[in-house]
Amino acid sequence: MFEKFSDQARRIIVLTQEEARERGHGYIGAEHMLLAVLRACEIGSAATTARALAELAIDPASARASIALTPGTAEHGVSSHIPFTKQARKALENSLREARSLGHEHIEPSDLLLSLTGVATDDPESPVGTAVTALGLTQEKFRRALRAGATYRTGATVAPHFTPQALKALARANAEAREADRGRVDTRHLLLGLLTEEDEFVHPALQALGVDAEQLAAEVRSRPPREQ
């Protein structure tokens, strides 16, 4: 089955196994796969998925931190086999259908997440169902975000590759717009996204100029929004 997976998607399967082992679980569940997808977004190996999540104001690192799984007691050797749960197998099987619906030649991380949101909806009381609901993530929302990103890339001469730090700032900008009940992200939200993320370039540069990031953010928020 995994021969249909892209290299990035195969990496997620490896990360899924690691998530289960690290928690002492004797099984690989859909919840471990969700954690693995978010981890891949965080480390920059699932850029398309990370961009779509940023569009939905979901920061992979924060999302991972919010998912609490009860530790298990299983002990695994380096080469020990950990079985997939029925729900996890269903997510893997459905990911091929999702890939075909988006015209992908191989199963990508985005297809895995689409499939995971689907099985989460089917069983909202399951660990993955609870996690996806808490994130405010639905299959339709994520599908729209993916298509919006695909439309943008089609119209661009060169598709930009965002660093994890840039994706965090973009997610924060989207969150700022939503918190202000604005229907679109404006330059003020982009600036706030940069100011509210600890960054090794932005904050030191502001400090060198004698600018306090918190005061600047407060000043930006105090100004009336642009007319839509």
- Render pLDDT for 39-91 as a digit per residue (tens, 0 to 9): 999 988 899 999 999 888 898 988 999 999 999 988 765 557 899 999 999 99
Residue 210 structure tokens: 């004698």
Cβ neighbourhood burial of 70 (10 Å; 0-12, 13-18, 19+): exposed
Predicted confidence at residue 53, as pLDDT, reads 93
Cβ atoms of residues 52 and 59 within 8 Å: no
Backbone phi, psi, residue 131, to 5°: -65, -45
Predicted confidence at residue 157, as pLDDT, reads 45
Of 199 and 144, more confident: 144
Residue 180, pLDDT above cutoff 90:
no
Residue 47 structure tokens: 């850029």
Predicted confidence at residue 155, as pLDDT, reads 46
> What is the arithmetic mean of pLDDT over 28-41?
97
Q: How far is CA 93 from CA 4, 20, 127, 221, 224, in A?
A: 11, 20, 19, 46, 50
Predicted confidence at residue 133, as pLDDT, reads 95
Alpha-carbon distance 220 to 228, whole Å? 17
Predicted confidence at residue 150, as pLDDT, reads 66
Write the CB contacts of 78 (distance below 8 Å, at least 6 apart in sequence).
Answer: none
Pick the CATH number of 2-155 from 1.10.3720.10, 1.10.1780.10, 3.30.1360.120, 3.40.50.970: 1.10.1780.10
- In one-letter notation, the amino acid at residue 1 is M
- Render pLDDT for 129-177 as a digit per residue (tens, 0 to 9): 999 999 999 999 999 999 887 654 444 444 456 677 777 787 788 778 7
Of 92 and 214, more confident: 92
Predicted confidence at residue 156, as pLDDT, reads 47
Predicted confidence at residue 174, as pLDDT, reads 77
Instruction: Compute, in degrees rounded to 10, the torsion defined by CA atoms 90, 91, 97, 101.
Output: 150
Residue 118, pLDDT above cutoff 90:
yes
27 pLDDT band, cuts 50/70/90, is very high
Predicted confidence at residue 179, as pLDDT, reads 78
Alpha-carbon distance 178 to 187, whole Å? 14
Residues of the chain with CATH 1.10.1780.10: 2-155
Q: What percent of the chain has pLDDT over 70?
A: 90
107 pLDDT band, cuts 50/70/90, is very high
- End-to-end CA distance of the chain, in Å? 49
